[in-house]
């Protein structure tokens, strides 16, 4: 199980695959109106600290019916997951949005004894640490990452979010290369392609900081990132892909019982991923083609949605 102590690219799915080898989308009935590409190209601005390597990259959100993306619990969820992914792409724990540090546990030192003792969902909650396939500062990240709120579930002290994370529209470009390459190019089979390009996040929040007020007004607009702290009273107590939560839910030695909990978590992740792929609405052969085919030019960039206020 040592392979599970490291994350693959963004998450822990490659480790999950290794162990297991042992190891048209629906929107929200409360989503805001979407700007046209033409409108976005003339009105969208960038925060001064938006990473330069992500100039041609944006997040786009959708949700199951009944989930409001621009008010309530979806706002800190959006801010958190976008921030976490920015720490990964920029290879910088300080790349998150205003309030990200306040709303997450202090990051333990990578590979320290304290880090190793924490469940994956806790040690990884405050951002990506360690080497990744995109940590070259000159590597451009291009396209749109599509995030879909599958479920918001109440908890005694807060809420739990399950989020589909599609990277089928994300590409990289190395300096001097004319072609752009799929972010997670996989040719080892449809199931691996889907695990790598459609992870399912489980993120848990508690409203422990009641003195901090939520942002005023709907959180939507032309910016790719918020100017201000939009986390409100919410604090992230755990975050990782669904299959990596097994040792947070069932702490203990990695014995036969521990392995059973891991495989149970992986089965849960596979079931949720199937729902995410249904939302995506692209058949397996086409998903594999997208994930293995370089492009001669950058993909058309769609504006951030619902975006953040100017």
Mean pLDDT to the nearest integer, 116-127: 91
Residue 47 confidence (pLDDT): 52
Mean residue pLDDT across the chain: 84
pLDDT in tens, 254-272: 677 767 888 899 999 999 9
Q: Give the whole-angstrom CA distance, residue 111 versus residue 11.
A: 16
C-alpha distance across the termini of the chain, in Å: 46
- 269: closest CA among 241, 296, 289? 241
Q: Give the whole-angstrom CA distance, residue 76 versus residue 88.
A: 18
Evaluate the CA torsion angle 159, 164, 169, 171 in order and state its sign: positive
Measured in whole angstroms, how far is the alpha carbon of residue 94 from the centre of its chain? 16
Q: Is the pLDDT of residue 74 over 90?
A: yes
Q: Give the whole-angstrom CA distance, residue 293 versus residue 207.
A: 44
Residue 261 confidence (pLDDT): 82
Q: Is the pLDDT of residue 275 over 90?
A: yes
Q: Is the pLDDT of residue 249 over 50?
A: yes
CA contacts within 13 A on the Cβ side of 248: 21
pLDDT in tens, 5-40: 333 334 444 434 333 433 323 333 344 444 443 333
pTM for this predicted structure: 0.85
pLDDT in tens, 87-100: 999 999 999 999 99
Residue 107 confidence (pLDDT): 82
**What is the DSSP-derived secondary structure letter of residue 276?**
H
Token pair for residue 275?
């729902």
Q: Give the whole-angstrom CA distance, residue 244 versus residue 12.
A: 7
């Amino acid at each position: 199980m040592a392979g599970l102590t490291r994350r693959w690219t963004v998450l822990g799915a490659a480790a999950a695959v290794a162990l297991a080898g042992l190891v048209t989308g629906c929107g929200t009935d409360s989503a805001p109106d979407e700007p046209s590409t033409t409108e976005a190209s003339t009105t969208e601005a960038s925060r001064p600290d938006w990473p330069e390597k992500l100039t041609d990259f944006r997040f786009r959100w959708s949700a199951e019916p009944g989930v409001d993306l621009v008010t309530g619990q979806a706002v800190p969820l959006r801010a958190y997951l976008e921030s976490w992914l920015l720490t990964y792409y920029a290879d910088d724990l300080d790349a998150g949005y205003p309030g990200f540090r306040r709303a997450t546990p202090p990051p333990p030192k990578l590979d320290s004894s304290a880090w190793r003792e924490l469940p994956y969902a806790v040690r990884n909650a405050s951002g990506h640490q360690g080497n990744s396939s995109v940590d070259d500062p000159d590597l451009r990240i291009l396209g749109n990452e599509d995030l879909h709120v599958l479920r918001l579930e109440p908890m005694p002290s807060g809420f739990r979010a399950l989020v589909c994370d599609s990277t089928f529209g994300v590409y990289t470009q190395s300096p001097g290369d004319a072609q752009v390459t799929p972010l997670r190019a996989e040719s080892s089979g449809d199931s691996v392609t889907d695990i790598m390009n459609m992870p399912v996040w489980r993120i848990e929040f508690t409203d422990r900081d009641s003195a901090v007020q939520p942002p005023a007004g709907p959180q939507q607009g032309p910016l790719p990132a918020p100017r201000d702290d939009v986390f409100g009273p919410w604090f992230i107590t755990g975050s990782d892909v669904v299959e990596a939560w097994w040792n947070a839910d069932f702490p203990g030695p990695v014995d036969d019982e521990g392995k059973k909990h891991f495989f149970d978590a992986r089965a849960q992740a596979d079931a949720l991923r199937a729902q995410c792929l249904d939302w995506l609405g692209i058949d397996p052969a086409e998903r594999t083609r997208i994930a293995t085919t370089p492009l001669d030019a950058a993909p058309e960039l769609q504006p951030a949605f619902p975006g953040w206020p100017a």
